[in-house]
Amino acid sequence: MKEIVTRFAPSPTGTLHIGGVRTALFNYVYAKQNNGKFLIRIEDTDRERSQKKYEENILNNLSSIGLIPDEKPINQSQRNNIYIKAAEKIIESGNAYWCDCSQENLDQMRKEQIAAGKKPMYDGRSRNLGIQQSEKTVLRLATPEDGEIIVNDLIRGEIKFNNSELDDLILLRSDGTPTYHLCNVVDDYEQNVTTVIRGEDHISNTPRQIHIQKALGYPDLEYAHLPLVLGTDKKRLSKRNAATSLEEYRDKGYLDSAILNTLARLGWSQGENEVFYLDDLIKNFNIKEVQKAGAIFDITKLDWLNSQHLSKLSLEEFKNLLKPFLDEIGININDHENVDLLIESLRTSDNNLSGIANMLYPYYKDIKEYDDAAIKKFVTGNTILHDLKEILHNIDNWDEESINNALTKYQEDNNLKVPQVNQPVRIALTGKTKSPGLGLTLVIFGKELSLERIEKLLTF
């Protein structure tokens, strides 16, 4: 059997989009589970929109998230000769012709077709005119006029296209440059690709590309068109409904494994098992199980999966991953007496590493600001914090149990609710009403700093 070869073929017109990562992921997984190869091709023939910085962003992000190609990526912009040769081969086979229709001529044709209620498309008027190549001519593929093309899609099954609905597409522009479809088909052949896995927005391109393949005598390919990635508003995912670039999520501290897990779930699921890693995916993924309907990218799913993946890290792994996020806000992770206790106690305080780093801020540095509403609710107009300062001051054994006992006694003696007692202290220590158990929080801060912060809020 032929070795399975897949490819991810991004156009470098923007940073790596998470929908693109999903496409790359499925290509990678399908290749690996078939002991095949995963390749990357940069489709940068659109010189105006393609940029080197985007190409670098795409390649760096893919490899750092673990989707490493088995061969060096190729760039279409450097392969012009190969496409021209292929076009010449199609001319020799008699399956292409030169067309010198002017723009006015084409516009007129379009108008007439629309007026007659027909689908506007090039009608092949130059096909049998024997026009010679000149600087005004484009090269067109002579697409069969009858019959049909059947695409056997691994996800969608059989998709039929009538040839009569396909016009003679342009292979070479009048300036001699090859068009997108020609390059795409030639490269799949040259890279020995066997399986094209891409977004469903490419379905309508498929019969056209198959005609080019046939004209060149290339072997058939396997296709799988993935469902679109939608935002929670069920519209195509775009910057309007969510952050779309992979980097934005990595920068916020979503783990690569959680991002891949979330993206794999965009169109595929593994029964009840929601939390899985790349290796599991390679073992269990089945492209035929991918759904046809659009897949919704929901940040709350990513949040949940990220917290699951974070919880599976050892303390050391967790600290190593967290460190750069603390560096970012000017904190050296080791600048704390109880660092391990601190990190262990706060590792579930948010869904992502940058959120956790922010939660850790008051444990390392002076509080930047207090939660005003919380102060009004819990501190203003009572003497609780004042009383607690005295009580805490008198505790000799600064351990969780002694502290909690003292706090409970004060609460019961004064007939107060737990938050009435705990929240003023929390606000004094962290600026906010969220922290681990209060006894533990006080232990992490130590007696001296705890009392200092309480005093500071009292004089605030």
Which residues contribute to the site for ligand GLU (CB under 6 A)? Answer: 9-11, 43, 184, 196, 198, 202
The least CB distance from residue 209 to ligand GLU, in Å, is 8
Look up residue 219 and give its DSSP letter. Answer: P
Residue with tokens 């869904």: 351
Task: Give the span between the Cα atoms of 149 and 162, in whole angstroms.
Answer: 6
Q: How many whole angstroms separate alpha carbon 66 and alpha carbon 28? A: 10
**158 Cβ contact list (under 8 Å, min separation 6):** 150, 151, 152
Residue 401: both structure tokens together: 């149990």
Q: For ligand GLU, which is the closer residue by CB, 23 or 435?
A: 23
Q: Which C-beta is closer to ligand GLU: that of 39 or that of 375?
A: 39
By beta-carbon proximity to ligand GLU, the closer residue of 17 and 389 is: 17
Q: How far is the CB of 421 from ligand GLU (least distance, A)?
A: 59
Q: How far is the CB of 195 from ligand GLU (least distance, A)?
A: 11
For residues 215 and 93, what is the distance between their CA atoms, to the nearest angstrom?
7
Q: 154 near 223, Cβ under 8 Å? A: yes
Work out the burial of residue 330: count CB atoms within 10 Å of its CB; fewer than 13 is exposed, 13-18 middle, 19 or more buried: exposed
Cβ at position 200, least distance to ligand GLU in Å: 11
* DSSP secondary structure letter of residue 62: H
Residue with token string 């130590």: 446
> Nearer to ligand GLU by C-beta: 58 or 141?
58
**Phi-psi region for residue 396, left (φ > 0), alpha (ψ -120 to 50) or beta?**
alpha
Q: How far apart are CA 262 and CA 408, in angstroms?
A: 43
Residue closer to ligand GLU (CB basis): 181 or 292: 181
Which residue from 190, 174, 171, 193 is spatially nearest to 182, judged by alpha carbons? 171
Q: Which of 23, 8, 292 is nearest to 159 (CA)?
A: 292
Catalytic hit among 111, 136, 235, 239: 239
Cβ atoms of 2 and 14 within 8 Å: the answer is no
For ligand GLU, the closer CB: 7 or 309: 7
Give the shortest CB-258-to-ligand GLU separation in angstroms. Answer: 25
DSSP result, 347-362? TTSSSSHHHHHHHHHH
Q: Alpha carbon of 144 to those of 9, 95, 125, 127: distances in Å?
A: 28, 9, 14, 12
Q: Which is nearer to ligand GLU, 9 or 385 (CB)?
A: 9
CB of 55 to ligand GLU, least distance (A): 12
Say which residue the tokens 């040769």 belong to. Answer: 85
- Residue pair 128/142 in contact (Cβ under 8 Å)? The answer is no
234 is catalytic: no
Catalytic residue list: 239
